Amino acid sequence: MSSRWVEPTWSKKFRAPYVHLVFGARQTGKSTLLLTFLDEHPKRAGHGYIICRCKEPLRMHDKVTALPWSSM
């Protein structure tokens, strides 16, 4: 993953035992960040979710599922 300016800050904050919501424009690396986090912390999280405008849940990766806004 290419380094992002916010990555060191997130690395510190991800240590806390909370659910983290990441918002941002399209094509900015949010999915890549999620996959990297899941790979680096397999004991803390085995699966990640992306909330988007899809009509039904979509499997994006073995470890990532996209969910529609309506499921919130």
The model's pLDDT over 19-63, given as tens digits with 9 standing for 90+, comes to: 767 777 777 778 888 898 889 888 888 898 988 888 999 999 999
CA quadruple 47, 52, 56, 61: dihedral sign: negative
Label residues 29-61 b or e (16+ Cβ within 10 Å = b).
Answer: eebebbbebbeeeeeeeeebebeeebeeeeebe
Give the rounded distance of the alpha carbon of 20 from its chain centre: 8
Say if pTM beats, i.e. exceeds, 0.75. no
54 vs 13, which has greater pLDDT? 54
pLDDT at 1 over 50: no
